[in-house]
Chain A
């Protein structure tokens, strides 16, 4: 017996085991790839998702976001290594769905059903579903239980879907453009409900959206994807110190270019430079560095990254 095997057979204290679980990645990808004919949707990406995080996966249309989520959800076969809660999603989707919930970019609830029928079904097949929680959430909306889903507005359908997700004791929630097509009020309410009533330290959320500015404040981590590759992966708190934007008169442009900007744009005789990890004191000599929004960082990163370039 090897020393390693002997060590692993020793009893582990419950507190240590719990601590290990709390830090172990719930999603682990190594060399994850997906090819559709000549099109590379995912190009051998590596990443981990830790528990208790809210990860925003951000990219342009066709960047590979949905493919990434579909792989995590076991909806597509893939190359490379991918585990979710230690399981291979492509082989163990059904078992995985006890711990994973997802809302796709389109209204996926079966239109011929009523809300009550959907609850009946989920209650019958999902061991983690609590009907009272779903009913309680729905009672605060105007969604009728007896109306067929095809008669509901898109906002109501999303609220109904959210009520199901809220009532399932899942550890990972995957959201693929969940608020697409909803008005601003529904969108705000959707994310507020997620944060206030769903999210806690034991749960993880992976979300993709084009409305980056609306979810920026709730994200703990971001992942930018372009052409199937991860071009940025960071904690949102770190982005503030890492990225900076400086606007100067055109006469200072050359000096700033020497500092290696990530992105440069010009307007009305002024030049704006975006820096990744630059010395703030050096920038301060030209102009006060400005805090950048996630959308601004995304645009700068996407503009900069040449096709095929990796992180």
Chain B
């Protein structure tokens, strides 16, 4: 039996075990987002909206498409990509919660129901087991959420196309999504960078999952919260909070989106900010410190797992 077969079995188990968190929950969130967006677009004829200070009110989805197309002339693809990024934002934010709770339960739940004894009765080392749990919690949700997001957006575009065609609109604008697809494809390697950058947080949650006798949420959250509170009271500073916050959003804070003119520039700034922040990470020493800190927590989780009985 090859190692590949073993790792495939571990991966399949992770997908099965985290199915609700990694697939069902994102699918439900995306379904709600798509539904609300479709309803909002359908509501245009009833409410009537206006864009900018000039021009007539818009009373149909077809008029909306025409007007938006005029406003974004030459940058239609970036306009659509910005729109799709906006629609996918709720699910992107939810991913952090999905990762947190999946990791939190990964080593705790099987200790609680004693099924860890079954896993330990198999010829799988504790290192392999814990790493499988880690990747199942820290990487898998990003991948599944990305797939669910694309599927949801395609459903949304199909719905919008049907509505637009029914109203005689030019629906070609809706499918100018090249920049978004580029960003979507790039996000997969970015996930690896994100995972490494966030390793101190995800490693800590995994460690909490491996040691918490009960209430793993409190075990994972209270120590950093206490550290932040003590630092605030004693030193009147917030470096711990800043450091932790940067693990989630690595932006320096001084390269935001300012003084942009039109959708094209807005999208360019937005994508440069998103990609730039993540792609710059390997050039920073802090990146490698993060990996070391996170790896230490994972090593502790493996050690704890080894002697759980």
Contacts and interface: CB of A to CB of B under 8 A. Distances in A.
A125 B114 contact: no
Nearest to A118: B118
Interface stretch (A12-20, A98-106, A214-222, A278-286): A98-106
A70 B17 CA distance: 27
Interface string A107-129: 11111110001001111111100
B123 A76 contact: no
A101 B307 contact: no
Interface stretch (A89-97, A133-141, A240-248, A293-301): A89-97
Closest 3 CB pairs of A and B: A124-B9, A75-B309, A94-B125
A308 interface: no
Contacts of A98: 123
Contacts, number: 85
Contacts of A97: 120-124
A285 B165 CA distance: 109
Interface of A: 70, 73, 75-77, 93-98, 100-102, 104, 106-113, 117, 120-127, 161
Contacts of A123: 9
22 contacts: A93-B125, A94-B128, A95-B123, A101-B121, A102-B121, A104-B117, A106-B114, A108-B115, A108-B118, A108-B121, A109-B118, A110-B110, A110-B113, A111-B115, A124-B5, A124-B6, A124-B9, A124-B12, A125-B9, A126-B1, A126-B123, A127-B1
Given A94-B125, A97-B122, A120-B12, A125 B115 contact: no
B12 A121 contact: yes
A126 B122 contact: yes
Nearest to B127: A94
Contacts of A113: 16
B13 interface: yes
Contacts of B115: 108-111
A116 B16 CA distance: 12
Nearest to B4: A124
Contacts of A110: 17, 110, 113, 115, 118-119
Interface string B55-78: 000000000000000000000000
A76 B307 contact: yes
Given A97-B122, A104-B117, A109-B115, A124 B8 contact: yes
